Every structure is written in C-alpha cells, then in structure tokens.
Structure 1
Amino acid sequence: MRGYDRINSFLPDELILEIFRRIHAKSNRDACSLVCKRWLGLERISRDKLRIAASCKPDALTKLLARQFINVKNIYIDERLPFPLPVSFGRRRGGDQPRFLSVNLPRALEDEETSSHSLSDAGLIAIGEGFSKLEKLSLIWCSNVTNAGLKSIAENCVSLRSLDLQGCYVGDQGLAAVGVCCKQLEDLNLRFCEGVTDAGLIELAFSCGSTLQSLEISACTRITDLSLEAVGSHCKNLVTLSLDSEQINNKGVIAVAKGCRLLKVLKLQCINVTDEALQMVGMYSSSLELLALHSFQRFTDMSLYAIGKGCKSLKNLTLSDCYYLSDKGLEAVASGCLELTHLEVNGCHNIGTKGLESIGRSCRNLLELALLYCQKIGNEALAEIGRGCSNLQALHLVDCSSISDDAICSIAKGCRNLKKLHIRRCYEVGNKGIIAVGENCKSLTDLSLRYCDRVGDEGMIAIGQGCSLTHLNVSGCHRIGDVGMTAIARGCPSLTYLDASVLQDLGDAGMAELGEGCSSLKDIVLSHCRQITDVGLSYLINKCKLLQTCHMVYCPHISSAGVATVISSCPDIKKVLVEKWKVSPRTKRRAGSIISYLCVDL
C-alpha cells in the first residue's frame, strides 16, 4: 500500500544497528542516515570512528560531534588535513545552477567566534568529556595541545588503548597522567614529541608498562637510555619498538633486548648503536620477526652473524645505508633465517652478488625483494632468486646498473606468481626482459618501468597480451608510443592508474584507445607528452568518467579549453595539475580548489 512503511514498522532498532555496523564505507553510511530521522539517530549511535581535519574550528567541531556520536571509540585528528570546501563541477544539464560538492558548516561552528583554526586543550577536554568510551586517539601535529588537555583525556578516557601524539608538544605531566589513568594502554607514538623527557616516559612505563605492546620514539632529544632501561624493566609484553634518535646508545637497546623477550618488531636508526647492542638482540630476541636497520655507521657483519644465529623466526629484514655490511653478513642471515619472506637492501654498497645468491639458495619462502642503489649486485644473483624463490610476488629494482635483461628473464621464468614489478633507472633492462615477463607472469597487476629507456612498444605488446594490469608506470620510456599504449588499452581493461609522462611519441591515437579500452581509469599522468592535444584529451575524458586526478604540465598542445573539458566532464575529479596560465578565470571560479600549479609566479 502506498505510504505504508514496511521497514520501520517491522525492523527493530537492534537489527538496523547491526546493518549499519556492517556498512564500512562512510559515503554509504551517510546515504543511509538520510532515509529518516530514526535512521539518522541509529546511524549516529552505531558510528565508532571519526576523522577530523584540525584546520576549521576543530574545538567547536569536537564539542558538536561529542553530542551526536556517543559511542565513538576511534578518533583521528590531523592538523595537516585541509577542511573540504565547496567545489563546483559545472552546470546541470538544462539548468543554470552549477553543481557543487559542498560542505555546509553547522551554525554552531559558524557562531563560534572564539574558536581557532587549530585544536587546543578546549577541544581535547571536549573529547575527553564527550567520548568516554574512547579506545584509540590520534593527534597528528596538533601543536597547540598541552599537558592540560592530555590530562583531561587520561582522566576521562580510562579505556584508552592506543595514543598517537606525533608532533604534539606535550610534556611529562600529560604523559605521566596517561600512565596513571590508562591502565589498558597498548600502543604509544611519541614521534617528534620534543617536550617529553626521560621523567615522563619512565613514569608511564612504571604505571602501565605491563600492557604496553608498541612504542615509537623519534627526534625526542631528551629521551635517553634511562627511558629504555625503564621500558626493559617494566614493559615485559612489548612487541614493537621503533627508535630514531641520536641520544640512544648500546645501553638502552641492550636493556630492551634483555627485558622484552616477546619483541617481534625492531626498527632502529640510532647512529651511536654498535655491534654490541645488535649481538644482544640476536642473543635474547628469539621471537624477532621484523628487523629494520637504517643509517648504521658503527656496526659490521658481526651483528648479522648474531641475528642469523639467534633470530630463527625473522621474516622481514631491511638494511638501509649500512656501509660496513658485506656479503658475509647476508650469507649468515640466509643460512640462519630460513623463514625470511621480505628483504630490502638499500644503499649497502659492499653487498653484492654472492650475498643475494645465498638468499636465493636458502630462503625459499621469499615473497618480496627490494634492491635499491645496489651497484655490485649482478644478473647471477637474480638468476639464483629465480631458481630458488618460486613464490616471489614483488620485485623492486632501483639504480641497479649491473642488472640487465638476462636477470629479468630469469625472474620471469622462475617466479611465475609475480604480481608487482617495479624497475627504475636500470638502463640495461629492455624489451627482451619485459617480453619474458609478459609471456610468463600472468598474475602481474602492477608494473613500473620508470626511465628504463630501452623498453619500447614491443615490451608493451607482450604485457598487453599476457597480463591484466591495474597499475602501469612507464614514465620516461621514450620508445613507447601509440602502438604500445594501444596494446595496453586493449589488453588491460582493469587499468586504474597510468603514468605515461615524458613519452614523446604518445599522441591522440593512443589517448583514443585508452579511452575506449580503459574506462576504469582513475589517475593519469600525461606531463611532458608533447604530441597530445585537446582532441586526444577529449577522447580520453569522454569515456573515462571515473577520473579523479590528471597531471598534464608541459603539454604544449593542451590548452585552457582542454583543462576546462577535464574539469567539466569528470564528476569525481579531485586534482588537476597544470600550468597556471592555462587556467581561465571561469575555470578557476568553478573549480579553483582542485587545481594545482607546478609553478605559481616565475
């Protein structure tokens, strides 16, 4: 019967709440809440997460939200996030009114004259008093909050489990209050918290150390080994530790290694830590699964010997700018850490072919390999990876000058489950290797060949015939033109991201084929493509209605008319990067907030 409500008359609140809990996309939840007042109220009750941009009167906004969403458990506030502004996307068909993606500020915010554009203690007090069920709070670069606001959070949100204070200038009193009141705290991020000293962290470790599982410290100049000794003594359940500090020495790391036997994740960027500390990690941290060592100047292969001997459960290893490591250290890891699945070697100039060969022979479960700026690693190393690591799914190569087509062919034939292949500035890699990838790696979805200038249309034809890509980056591969892009367009209909910048021979024919074959495209980069004109751009835009970002700087044949076509034809467009002089006053009025300029005024 017309006018008879078959839903609200029969469905109880509990069932509708359960439906809302199963809807994860915010846009879908917002749409459902507009059905009626009852659904709006129930959606507000079911909402457990809030994401707030701290750049438009956040204090007043938090007060308003606290009255409406009473069951929120997770709040994320980032001072760097811009508050969305009205955006025009052209005129409605048959009408004179422009279409807007608008955000109407509640009158409570408009009338709040004293509210600043940064979150302050008043906002934190509102959060503490309004969200008593809060379990996770992230305050990213909220530099105006102080100890008073943090103490209010601690006293009111006693169920807090995760606290991210990155970039907040809070001090010891606030941190100590968190330790005293929040006895369930598990995760704490103190990156760039310059106001915290040993006193605050020691008090927190003493008060709630038994529950703390994750701790991040970076650029906290007044946190020293004394704090880590307290962590080692009181935080027996610590699982993750990330340290980036010039103040930390061997003593602090050793205290954690000896005291926190459940440690699984250890990330270190501490220039004063030496072999002595890493040897203790190898001796005591038998549960370690992830180890990341960055910019170490004072430890040698002796550290990796200890890791290989003691950390049999290690699965993920990152070695970045560790100049004194050699093949022998990597061989020790390979022989001892047979469960290794992820390896990154970045700028370790003394690690070469032999070290990586040992990984290929011993670590059969390797899933991801990244070699960055490894000039001494040659083709035979990747040949051994191809023979031994058949489950490899991702390979990253950056500035590896000794790697050529032979290595890529070995990977393609041996690692047929490869899903991601990223190669940048490996100038010996050309069509031969990429053709082998297209013929053998049928599961490949993500391919990046930035500035591999020996790759041309032949390689793209093989990829188009053999792989169904969703992401493709061929920036700087100037031998690729319309023929290669046509093959991609016809063979990869699921393509959503394309970077075709600096392709001098790509023209309107390629654009037309992309529009016809890749209607799912969301992000495209066409900068420095000198043959593409407004005509080719219109071919693409007429079919790719899902486009969200478009970069087209230094395209001399794309004019202000082409820019306007992109703006008016793509309802989901969020960012257009173009030269300032190509944006007409009318286009700027209609969509100024989504246009970015490479250069403003020269």
Structure 2
Amino acid sequence: MDPMQRKIIEQFCISSGHPIRENYEFPQKLLDTLIFEAVQEVDISKCRRLLIEHAVDYFSQSFPSLKILKAASVTILSSSPAVIPLVPEKTSSLKYKAVETMSFHESRPLISYVTKLTLEGRTDVSDLSLQYISKSCVSLCHLNIKGCIHVTDIGISDLISRCKNLNSIVVCDTSFGINSVQALCSAISDDGNFPCLHSRDKHLNSMVSNLQSLHMGGCIGISELYLQELMSQTQVLKSLCLRGTYLVDQALYNFKGSSLEMLDVSDTKISEAALSYVIHGNPSLKTLKARGCKNLLKGDSSIEKRESRFSSLHEELHAELGKKCKLEELEFGWGFSSFSLSALEPALTSLKTINVGLGGMLGEDALRQLPAICPQLETIILHFQVISDIIVTKLIMTLVELQVLALCYCFGDISMSSFKFPMRNLRKLRLERVTPWMNNDDLVILSQNCRNLVELSLLGCPLLNSDSQQIISHAWPGLVSLHLEECGEITANGVSALLDCRAIEDLLLRHNGPGLQRNFIFHAASEMPLLRKLSLDICDASEGDFDIPNYADRCFLSILKIARCKSQRCAFHLPVPSPGSRRRSVHVETLVLVWNSKNLTRTVVKERL
C-alpha cells in the first residue's frame, strides 16, 4: 500500500471516530483508489453509524471477489433497489442478524446468487418475507430463521416446497410443524402433496433425504407420528437438533442416516436403548447433547424389543459411545455418573466441552480425574454437582486452555483459594449460588486472575455493595455480557460505574438493591451503545416502576425483560420486618418487550425469563 492510500485510510478512520457525527460515509478518494482483489469476506457487524448504502457501494467496487458479507447488528439497511445489486455477483452468503431496518420486498435481481441466508432472531420476518425469498433466492442452500416467531408453518412449508436446493435448515423455536414436515417428506418431483406415510418409493427423492443439517429444536407443533416419518427419510444428515420436541424412541429407531456428527436430543423422552441404537450406526458422532432426558434412567422402552444386540443397551449406552466415537462436545444429565465417565474414557481424549446438568452425578473422584481423561477441555459447565476447593483448583491449574467455567447450584464448600491462580484464557465465568462468601476483596482477587473475561455472571453474592461496580468496570471494561442477581447492595445507590462497560450487549440486574432510577432503561441504552438485551426487576426500581423508552430513545436496545415479584407470606408468626429491611420476594410475572424494525411487541409471561 503506497503512502497516499495509507493517508486516505487514516483520515477516514479519524473522521469516522468523531463523536459528534451521526453517520459516516466513505470518501470518494477511498472508492477510487483502493481495490482488494483477494478479499472474500467482509464483516461490518455492530458498525451502527456506518451508512450501509455507501458501505455496499464501496464493497462492490473495492472487493471484486467478495463472497460473504456480514452485517449483524447494523442500524440501517436500506430497502433501496439501487443498493443490493451493487454487491458483486459472486456474493454467496448474506447474514442479517438483529438488523433494525430492512425490507425484502424490493426488486433485487442479484439476490438470486445468495446461497446462505441467516435471519436468526428477526421478529419482523413474516410469511411475505419468506415468499419473496423463495422466489428470489433460487440458489438458496442454507436458511436460518431460528427465533423468527412471526412466520407460520404454512409460510415455512411454502418456502421449502419452492427452494429445492436446500440442504441445511435451521428453524428452532419457530412454528415449524406438520405442513413443513409434509413439504420435506414430499418427493421433489411431485406437486407438494404429502404422499401416504408408508410410501417407500419417495424416500430417496424427498427434500429431507438430501438434507445435511436439520435443526428444529423447540418446535412443538410436530406429532410423534410425523417425527417418525421424518426420521425414516433421513439419509445424509450430519447435524440434527430435536431439542424439546415430541421425540420418542420409535423415531430414533426409524433414523436411517449413518453420517451424524452432531445430535441434540435434550429435553425429550428418548431412552438409552434408542439413543444407543443411533450411536451404534453413526461412528462419526462428535457432539452429543442429551440433558433433561429423564427416561435415560429407565431400563424398559415402550417399543418392542429390537434385535438381540440392542435389547440390553440400557446398561451399555456409554460403553457404546466409548467404543464408537471420538467426542468433542458432550452434554448429559439424568443417568450420567462416574461409571459413565469411565466407560466413555476412550471417546473423551479430544473432548473440548462437557456440560453436566440436573440428574447427573459425577462425584468428587470423577471430577478430580476429569483433566486426565479430557486434557483438551475448553468448556466446563456443572449444575448440581458436588465440588470442593481441591476439585476446582485442579481443574483451573491443569486445564490451561480452559475458556468457559460455569459452576451453578453446586453442593459442597469452595472458598476464594479456588480462584487464586491465573486463568489467562478464561473468557466466560458463571458462579451461581456457589460463592455466598464473596466480598469486594474477593472480587478484586478474581479480577486479577481472570483478566480477559468477556462474560460474567454472579448469582447469590449478598456481601457485594455499590463499590463492586467500580471493581467490575475497572477490571473488565470489555465485558459483552454481565449478569448480577441477588448480589447484596450493588445497585442500592444507583448505577454509575457499570455504565463504563460500553461494550456490554446483554445486561441483567435483579435484586441488587432498589436504587435504579425511573429513567434507567433510557439512560443505560444511551450510555451503552451496543446494549441489545436488558433484564431488570421492579424490586430494584427506586420509584416502584420504570419508564419504557419510545422507539427512537431506545437506541440499540431490542429486548427488554422486566420481572415483577411479591412479598412472600410466611405461615409462622414472625416479627414484622423493620422499615428498609429486605423482604423475601417470589416471582409473579415477566413483561417482555421486543422491538424490531417495524413495531414493539409486549408479552406478559409467568416464567422468570
């Protein structure tokens, strides 16, 4: 790069960083002089003040080989028909996640080149949007509409029927249901009608038979019968997510694939026998998620006995995994024990993530052996396990590549001595109901040994106070996610120092002291330019409530959750609490507000979200 080009770029960066400017444009000199022929991917995510029209114009001229453009969390994406056609024809992937303003319904000829489209979490995507995509994106191979709650089963099924090249579909937490299953199981050559369920001549020619990835976690609109039919037509699936569906053993016995690398059956009714059956036929499995499967504890299956080699697999599930697979990610709960870990040992030498949930019980001996069995671990998540200082210290000292550590609702006694060792690679830390002794001095020590955290969650640390804010903001100014709940009096005097963590995207403050001002939501959104998600509790409002900002004043905020509690009534005749003392509260409901590019949606739910 010659000195003149370098000077132009430096001047642009200085101009773009000026705090009083609303939007930034690419100078004409930059457009005229710089061409990067080798660049294939550009990411302008979170560049909120960048004029997307000028950005795309610049990309079309300066990156002739561009294939992937990512614009996640961009404020304005123009619907002008003059914008998208300027992207080079080689562009094959577009990712629009949390984009605030975008319209699909314009004439965009070159969108036909798009093969990968991610619209995850966009509540403004409708059936009309899917209809436009199905007509325009004729080359579409991968579609991710996870969390697009306003699309219907009919809309998804119509898109599936039109996009014959799809080999990867992510529809978790949508209305994906029977109509969509019918579209997937219909022969590609027919008119979209669903053939009889037991017709076999269509299996090799249906849409689902060609899918390599199908993620439909949380889709509860599919009956057991249709799930069985869907599984019977799978041929080349490599990644399958059935989390939280009405999955039963027979559906897994119907599974025809032998190429699975990722399987998620969390929170389903499957048994060990059925899960073992799938594992036996898929030796390439690298990721297995089976948390929340209570039937893994049961020995009998409601399905008739299989072949003799599978009839007693209730006791051999983990041995089967140990013999067949080389796992990289493992999530288990019910039925997982120290004996399971021993049986799995041959499969865990390359394990990077382990997540043990409710119902699993590794025991202290197994946890001590974990670093020796899984020397490459990067993520450890433990719920309801028995831990001690010896265990935590060994995990921290031995696993030098550890990046994520979560200790949630665990039993046993740990002290600050567990965290008096440098954890340079640790990026995410969750300590929930395990450190009730933590005070500000302990928090300082933690900050000195975990300098590179980007996510921090503390629950149940009643000795912390308002000075903790300064410790957190000074130690971790680059935090992206911060959750503080039932942490003493951290917010009793309001929130000030925490606002210096300007990179925060996800902030949860609940039951930390009633010092939050009525305008706190607006104040936090304006001070934290990247804040997308905010979770509060009425208990912490100094005036008993919060003002909801209007569309313009919300800045970048897209999800707001406000929980409401009530004082718990006691059956015993105890003294009346003195004024100003903290009463024990129980959750009543949560108000959920979601802003998209068009409107605001309000929902009240009983769950504590």
TM-score by shorter chain over 0.5: yes
What is the identity, as a one-letter code, of the residue corresponding to 1:373?
A: F
What is the identity, as a one-letter code, of the residue corresponding to 2:333?
A: S
Matching residue within 213, 220, 225 for 2:223: 220
Q: Distance in 2 between matches of 1:52 and 1:178?
A: 32
Q: Distance in 2 between matches of 1:243 and 1:564?
A: 37
CA distance change for structure 1 residues 10 and 212 in 2, over 3 Å: closer, same or farther? same
Task: Indicate the SS of the match to 2:265.
Answer: strand
Matching residue within 466, 477, 487 for 2:461: 477
What is the identity, as a one-letter code, of the residue corresponding to 2:458?
A: V
Q: Which residue of 2 aligns with 1:352?
A: 363
Matching residue within 463, 472, 475 for 2:446: 463
What is the identity, as a one-letter code, of the residue corresponding to 1:174?
A: A
Q: Which residue of 2 aligns with 1:316?
A: 329
Q: Which residue of 2 aligns with 1:287?
A: 284
Q: Distance in 2 between matches of 1:481 and 1:556?
A: 17
Compute the displacement of 1:230 (Å). 4.7
Compute the displacement of 1:478 (Å). 2.3
Compute the displacement of 1:502 (Å). 4.1
Compute the displacement of 1:480 (Å). 0.8
Matching residue within 490, 493, 499 for 2:477: 493
Compute the displacement of 1:304 (Å). 1.0
Q: Which residue of 1 aligns with 2:342?
A: 331
Contact persistence 1:553–1:577 (CA under 8 A):
no
Matching residue within 295, 308, 320 for 1:306: 320
- Give deviations 1:88-137, integer Å, cap 9, x for gaps: xxxxxxxxxxxxxxxxxxxxxxxxxxxxxx627xx766544333233334
Matched, 1:266 2:263: yes
Q: Which residue of 2 aligns with 1:18?
A: 64
Q: 1:94-173 alignment to 2 at 5 Å?
A: 119=127, 126-138=132-144, 144=152, 146=154, 150=157, 154=161, 157-164=163-170, 166-168=174-176, 169-170=178-179
Q: Distance in 2 between matches of 1:504 and 1:144?
A: 44
- Give deviations 1:377-427, integer Å, cap 9, x for gaps: 55554455345433222121111111422xx7456548653332212112x
Return the TM-score normalized by structure 2.
0.63
- Give deviations 1:339-360, integer Å, cap 9, x for gaps: 2221111123543223333323
Q: Which residue of 2 aligns with 1:555?
A: 540
Q: Distance in 2 between matches of 1:306 and 1:534?
A: 57
Q: Distance in 1 between matches of 2:74 and 2:262?
A: 36
Contact persistence 1:504–1:531 (CA under 8 A):
no
Q: Which residue of 2 aligns with 1:111?
A: none
CA distance change for structure 1 residues 334 and 196 in 2, over 3 Å: closer, same or farther? farther
Matched, 1:249 2:249: yes
- Structure 1: which 5+ runs fail to align? 84-117, 183-194, 430-452, 581-591
Q: Distance in 2 between matches of 1:579 and 1:276?
A: 42
Q: Distance in 2 between matches of 1:52 and 1:523?
A: 16
Q: Which residue of 1 aligns with 2:430?
A: 422
What is the identity, as a one-letter code, of the residue corresponding to 2:384?
A: Y
Percentage of identical aligned residues: 17
Return the TM-score normalized by structure 1.
0.64
Higher Cα Rg: structure 1 or 2?
1
Contact persistence 2:95–2:117 (CA under 8 A):
yes
CA distance change for structure 1 residues 196 and 573 in 2, over 3 Å: closer, same or farther? farther
Contact persistence 2:185–2:230 (CA under 8 A):
no
- Give deviations 1:135-193, integer Å, cap 9, x for gaps: 3345656675549x8467545x44333345652341675334464489xxxxxxxxxxx
- Give deviations 1:492-530, integer Å, cap 9, x for gaps: 332344444544533577744445x54445554444444
CA distance change for structure 1 residues 315 and 536 in 2, over 3 Å: closer, same or farther? same
What is the identity, as a one-letter code, of the residue corresponding to 1:484?
A: S
CA distance change for structure 1 residues 474 and 41 in 2, over 3 Å: closer, same or farther? same
Q: 1:28-47 alignment to 2 at 5 Å?
A: 41-43=85-87
